């Protein structure tokens, strides 16, 4: 039996006294937990996280890096058990207000230490500890491998004009629903039709233009990879962005960023339609990679 999927967040806000985290009391279970909930049919994980935060806490949120997922068994109506996976993100509260509701009757904003002491479950404390291991205020760049575009040898025209296949178009639509949760302000694409088409649904959703980036295309990157890394870091320095590139660039780019930052990454996958959530510090002298989270697919979780 496949796992039930849910999503939630370490929801935080910045105050004069420091960073506070939201801890929710659920009367149904009489527990204190981080905001989370099950995926609706056809919903991407990021859509679930943002919706559940709003429903449980009343706050609108912008997602950031991924935090450790929780895995546990839940009881089913027939008396058996089923695995459940909860995907967690860091999430900044950017507006809203709490109103007691059927799911959550009390919400407390607490320092990390006080939140940890109040939480009922160890897996929530693991998520909270991972959140506090890095700064709350960071910059996020979403590095996307173009969606499926068929085999190069079966395309008769110039390779830069090779378009997405129908399954690639579906992946692009899902990315257009998945990535707005991170509130990107700028969109970039290698000058390839398939790279631009991958972020076109997102551009339409956000009302943003797509800027071509030659240094992040294979032919532009490999003559001088250091120049490509510098350009990517310049993009990161300006805040949240999406970059659509190619499989011949992404693994090398992520590896170079990780080595430069001293991050112990050993694998650099890049499936078509996948996304690297790259988290950088907010140092005005120049961004340094703090975390790199790989999302293999933009498609909604499969439901039985």
Residues 149 and 84 both lie in one domain = no
Range(s) of the domain holding residue 70:
4-132
For residue 110, give the CATH number of its domain.
Answer: 3.90.79.10
Distance between CA atoms of residues 85 and 264, nearest Å: 25
Distance between CA atoms of residues 278 and 134, nearest Å: 13
- What is the tens place of the pLDDT at every residue in 99-123? 999 999 999 999 999 999 999 999 9
Residue 190 resides in a domain:
yes
Residue 96 resides in a domain:
yes
Distance between CA atoms of residues 247 and 239, nearest Å: 24
Residue 150 resides in a domain:
yes
Distance between CA atoms of residues 85 and 72, nearest Å: 7
Could you say which DSSP state residue 54 is in?
Answer: H
Residues 170 and 254 both lie in one domain = yes
Residues 151 and 280 both lie in one domain = yes
Residues 36 and 153 both lie in one domain = no
Residues 152 and 126 both lie in one domain = no
By the 8 A CB rule, do 265 and 132 touch?
no
Could you say which DSSP state residue 128 is in?
Answer: H
Which of 132, 156, 171 finishes a domain?
Answer: 132
The sign of the torsion formed by the CA atoms of 202, 251, 88, 136 equals negative
Residues 178 and 62 both lie in one domain = no
Which of 97, 132, 167 finishes a domain?
Answer: 132
Residues 88 and 193 both lie in one domain = no
Residues 178 and 101 both lie in one domain = no
For residue 153, give the CATH number of its domain.
Answer: 3.40.50.1240
Residues 168 and 220 both lie in one domain = yes
Which of 111, 132, 153 finishes a domain?
Answer: 132
Q: In a structure prediction context, what are the per-residue pLDDT tens digits for the chain, which is 304 residues long? A: 678 999 999 999 999 999 999 999 999 999 999 999 999 999 999 999 999 999 999 999 999 999 999 999 888 877 788 899 999 999 999 999 999 999 999 999 999 999 999 999 999 999 999 999 999 999 999 999 999 998 888 888 888 999 999 999 999 999 999 999 999 999 999 999 999 999 999 999 999 999 999 999 999 999 999 999 999 999 999 999 999 999 999 999 999 999 999 999 999 999 999 999 999 998 888 899 999 999 999 999 976 5
Residue 103 phi/psi, 5-degree rounding, is -85, -40
Q: How many domains does the chain have?
A: 2
How crowded is residue 99: how many other Cβ atoms within 10 Å of its Cβ? 9
């Amino acid at each position: 039996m496949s796992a039930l999927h849910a999503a939630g967040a370490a929801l935080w806000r910045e105050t004069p006294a420091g960073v506070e985290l939201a801890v929710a009391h659920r009367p149904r279970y009489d527990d204190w937990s981080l905001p989370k909930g099950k995926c609706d049919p056809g919903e991407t994980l990021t859509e679930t996280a943002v919706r559940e935060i709003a429903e449980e806490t009343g706050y609108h949120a912008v997602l950031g890096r991924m935090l450790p997922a929780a895995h546990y068994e839940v009881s089913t109506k027939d008396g058996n058990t089923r695995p459940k996976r909860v995907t967690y993100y860091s999430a900044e509260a950017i507006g809203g207000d709490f109103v007691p509701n059927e799911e959550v009757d009390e919400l407390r904003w607490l320092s990390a230490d006080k939140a940890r002491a109040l939480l009922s479950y160890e897996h929530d404390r693991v998520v909270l500890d991972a959140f506090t291991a890095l700064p709350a205020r960071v910059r996020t760049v979403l590095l996307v491998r173009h969606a499926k575009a068929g085999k190069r040898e079966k395309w008769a025209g110039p390779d830069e004009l090779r378009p997405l296949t129908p399954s690639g178009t579906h992946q692009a639509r899902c990315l257009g629903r998945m990535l707005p949760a991170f509130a990107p302000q700028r969109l970039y694409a290698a000058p390839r039709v398939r790279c631009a088409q991958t972020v076109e649904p997102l551009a339409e959703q956000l009302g943003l233009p797509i800027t071509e980036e030659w240094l992040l295309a294979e032919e532009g990157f490999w003559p001088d990879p250091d120049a490509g890394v510098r350009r990517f870091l310049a993009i990161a320095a300006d805040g949240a962005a999406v970059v659509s590139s190619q499989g011949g660039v992404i693994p090398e780019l992520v590896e170079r960023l990780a080595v430069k930052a001293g991050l112990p990454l050993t694998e650099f996958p890049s499936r078509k339609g996948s996304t690297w959530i790259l988290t950088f510090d907010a140092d005005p002298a120049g961004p340094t990679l703090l975390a790199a989270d790989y999302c293999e697919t933009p498609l909604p979780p499969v439901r039985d």
